[in-house]
Amino acid sequence: MSDDLQLPRAARIFVSFVALLRANGFSVAPEQTTSFLAAIELLGPRSLEHIHQAGLATLAPPPERRTTYDRLFDIHFRGAEAIERAEGEDEETVRLQEEGSGEDEPPLADEANESGLAAARAKALVERRFAQVPISDPLRQLSREAARRLPRRRGHRRRRARSGPFADLRRTLRDSVRNDGEVLRLGRMRRRQRPRKILFLIDVSGSMKARTEENMRLAHALVQAAGNVEVFTFGTRLTRVTSALRLKRREQALSAASFLVSDWDGGTRIGDALQAFLAVPRFGGYARGAAVVIVSDGLERGDPTALRDAVAKLSRRAWRVSWLTPLASAPGFKPQTEALIAIQRFVDDLLDGGSSAAVVAHLLSLGARRAA
C-alpha cells in the first residue's frame, strides 16, 4: 500500500506541499514533515497564515530562499490566484534568479512534483524537459582534453624547476650543508600554472531555441571537466545554474537546471542581463581575470547602448571576451545586426557558435593563448 493511501485525506495537501519544496531544491527531513503536521494540528488551523507560520517554524527555509518558499506556498495553497499573478509579470524587466546558498539539495530527475493541479500548471510555465541523447563526439573531446588544453594563468606560488627566474635559496642552502658548505648548483624556481576561471554565459531566448539544449549539455560537460567554471543563462532573466550542473549525472543536472531557469525560449534582453550581472559584486568578481565566453546570436530587443556599455565594462575585467554566434557559421562573416556591430570592438573573438564542435574547438584553443 502506498504512503498516500495510508495518510488521512486532510493531511495529504500538507505532505504534498513538502514534496513540492523538495522538488524545488529545499532540504526537508522526515522529522520536519512530522513537526509541520503537528504544528498545524496545534494551531487549528484557522487561516492560511497559521499554516504559513507553521511551515516557517518547522520546515525552516533558508533566509536567502524565503522569497522562493513564499512563492511556492502561494502556488500550492492559493492556486489560481497566484498563477494569475505569475502570468501577469512584466517580461521586459530582467530579474536575477539565485540558486540559494548552494547547500540545498537540487531536484533530481526522478523526483515527482505531487503538489496538485495548481502547482503543476505553474511548474509547466517554467520547466523545460531535455531529451536523453547520447553524448556527442565534441563533448567527449572536451572531457578528454580539458585538463591540458583549457586556459591557464601564472599563480603566485612557486615550485622547483630546472630553470626559472627565481632562486631557490632554501634548497641551495640545504644542498650546501651536504657538500661541506660548497654551493655547487643554484636552485631555481618558477611560478605554478593554475587553471584560469571560465565564465560561460548562455542565451536561452526564443531565437536560440534550436541550440539551447546542446549548449546546456556542453555547459555540463565543461563544469564536470574543470572545477573553476561559472555558468549563467540569460533571456529576460539572469540565472546562475552552476550548482545544478555540478551534479555528475547529466540527466539529473539538466533536470535541476530546468527548475531554476524560468525564461526558456522567451524574449532577449542581453544588455540588461549583462548590466544586472555586473551590478552584483559577487557575480562581477567571477569575471575578473576570467575567460568569458558568451554564446548568443546577439539579436537584442533592447537598447544596443546598454549592451555596448556592459560588454565594454566586462572586457576591462576579463582576461578575454569571446562572443560565439550561430550567425558566424558562414565563411567571411561580418556583423550585420546593430548589437553585434556595437560590441565588435570590445570583444577579443567574434566567432562561430552554431555547433558544439565550433564552441569546443574555441574553448580548447584558449589554452594556446599567452598566459597573463
Find how far residue 225's CA is from the centre of its chain.
15
Distance CA 56, CA 53 (A): 5
Percent of the chain with pLDDT over 90: 35
Cβ proximity of 139 and 359 under 8 Å: no
The chain-wide mean pLDDT, for the chain, equals: 80
Distance CA 287, CA 316 (A): 10
**For residue 348, which of 372, 54, 331, 125 has the smallest C-alpha distance?**
372
Cβ proximity of 167 and 189 under 8 Å: yes
Count CA within 13 A, CB hemisphere, residue 85. Answer: 8
Taking 80 as the threshold, does the pLDDT of residue 181 lie above it? no
pLDDT digit string (tens) for 65-85?
Answer: 888 888 888 878 876 444 444
Look at the alpha carbons of 31, 36, 11, 15 in this order and tell me if their dihedral is positive or negative. negative
CA distances from 74 to 106, 317, 325 (A): 21, 41, 40
Distance CA 24, CA 30 (A): 16
pLDDT digit string (tens) for 25-73?
Answer: 788 888 888 888 888 888 877 788 888 888 898 998 888 788 888 888 8
**For residue 215, which of 271, 297, 289, 151 has the smallest C-alpha distance?**
297
pLDDT digit string (tens) for 248-285?
Answer: 999 989 988 888 888 898 888 899 899 989 988 888 89
pLDDT digit string (tens) for 305-339?
Answer: 999 999 999 999 999 999 999 999 888 888 988 89
Find how far residue 364's CA is from the centre of its chain.
20
Distance CA 91, CA 88 (A): 9
What is the 8-class DSSP label of residue 328? G
More confident residue, 366 or 184: 366
Query: Nine-digit cell at 74?
Result: 502561494
